[in-house]
Amino acid sequence: MKTILITGGAGFIGSHIVRFFVNKYPHYRIVNLDALTYAGNLENLRDVEDKPNYEFVKADISFDKEIMPLFEKYRFDGVIHLAAESHVDRSISNPMEFIITNIIGTVNLLNAARHIWKDQPEGKLFYHISTDEVYGSLGEEGYFTENTPYDPRSPYSASKASSDHLVRAYYHTFNLPIVISNCSNNYGGNQFPEKLIPLFIHNIRNNKPLPVYGKGENVRDWLFVEDHTAAIDLIFHKGKTGETYNIGGNNEWRNIDLIKLLCRIMDGKLGRAEGTSEKLITYVKDRAGHDLRYAIDSGKLQHELGWSPSVDFEKGLHKTVDWYLANEEWLNNVTSGDYKKYYEEQYLKR
CB 135 within 8 A of CB 148: yes
**183 touches ligand NAD (CB under 6 A):** yes
Nearer to ligand TYD, 255 or 320 (CB): 255
Annotate each residue in 186-225 with x if it binds ligand NAD (CB under 6 A) or - if it does not, as one string.
Answer: x-----x---------------------------------
Pick from ligand NAD, ligand TYD, none: which does 234 bind, CB < 5 to 8 A by kind? none
> Cβ 26 to ligand NAD, closest distance in Å?
24
Nearer to ligand NAD, 124 or 160 (CB): 160
**183 touches ligand TYD (CB under 6 A):** no
CB 246 within 8 A of CB 301: yes
CB 61 within 8 A of CB 99: no
**Judged by CB under 6 A, which of 154, 159, 185, 346 binds ligand NAD?**
185
DSSP 272: P
Please give the full DSSP string across 6-28, using - where no structure is assigned: EETTTSHHHHHHHHHHHHH-TTE
Residue 61 backbone dihedrals phi, psi, to 5 degrees: -65, -15
**212 touches ligand TYD (CB under 6 A):** yes
**11 touches ligand TYD (CB under 6 A):** no
> Using a CB cutoff of 8 Å and minimum separation of 24, what contacts does 287-290 make?
287/88, 287/89, 287/92, 287/213, 287/214, 288/92, 289/92, 289/153, 289/154, 290/213, 290/214, 290/218
Q: In whole angstroms, give the CA distance from residue 256 to residue 259.
A: 5
Q: In whole angstroms, give the CA distance from residue 323 to residue 242.
A: 37
Residues touching ligand NAD: how many (CB under 6 A)? 29
90 to each of 98, 155, 330, 342, how far by Cα in Å?
9, 9, 22, 9
> Cβ 120 to ligand NAD, closest distance in Å?
26
Q: Which residues are catalytic?
A: 132-133, 156
> Using a CB cutoff of 8 Å and minimum separation of 24, what contacts does 71-74 make?
71/112, 71/113, 71/115, 71/116, 72/115, 72/116, 74/3, 74/5, 74/31
Q: Taking the CA atoms of 123, 128, 134 and 139 in sequence, report the sign of the dihedral they define.
A: positive
Radius of gyration of the chain (CA): 20
Pick from ligand TYD, ligand NAD, none: which does 204 bind, CB < 5 to 8 A by kind? none
Pairing mode, strands 78-81 and 2-7 = parallel
> Cβ 184 to ligand TYD, closest distance in Å?
9
**Judged by CB under 6 A, which of 40, 136, 189, 211 binds ligand TYD?**
211
Rule CB under 6 A: which of 62-101 touch ligand NAD? 62, 82-86, 101
Nearer to ligand TYD, 177 or 248 (CB): 248
Annotate each residue in 5-34 with x if it binds ligand NAD (CB under 6 A) or - if it does not, as one string.
Answer: ---x-xxxxx-------------------x
Residue range at the interface with ligand TYD (CB under 6 A); choices 211-219, 223-231, 241-249, 298-306? 211-219
> Cβ 213 to ligand TYD, closest distance in Å?
4
Residue 200 backbone dihedrals phi, psi, to 5 degrees: -75, -35
Pick from ligand NAD, ligand TYD, none: which does 101 bind, CB < 5 to 8 A by kind? ligand NAD
**36 touches ligand NAD (CB under 6 A):** yes
Pick from ligand NAD, ligand TYD, none: which does 220 bind, CB < 5 to 8 A by kind? ligand TYD
Spell out the residues 6+ positions from residue 113 whose beta carbon is closer than 8 angstroms to its own.
71, 76, 79, 124, 126, 176
> Cβ 172 to ligand NAD, closest distance in Å?
22
Binding site for ligand NAD (CB under 6 A): 8, 10-14, 34-37, 39-40, 60-62, 82-86, 101, 105, 129, 131, 160, 183, 185-186, 192
Binding site for ligand TYD (CB under 6 A): 88, 185, 195-196, 199, 211-213, 218, 220, 255, 287
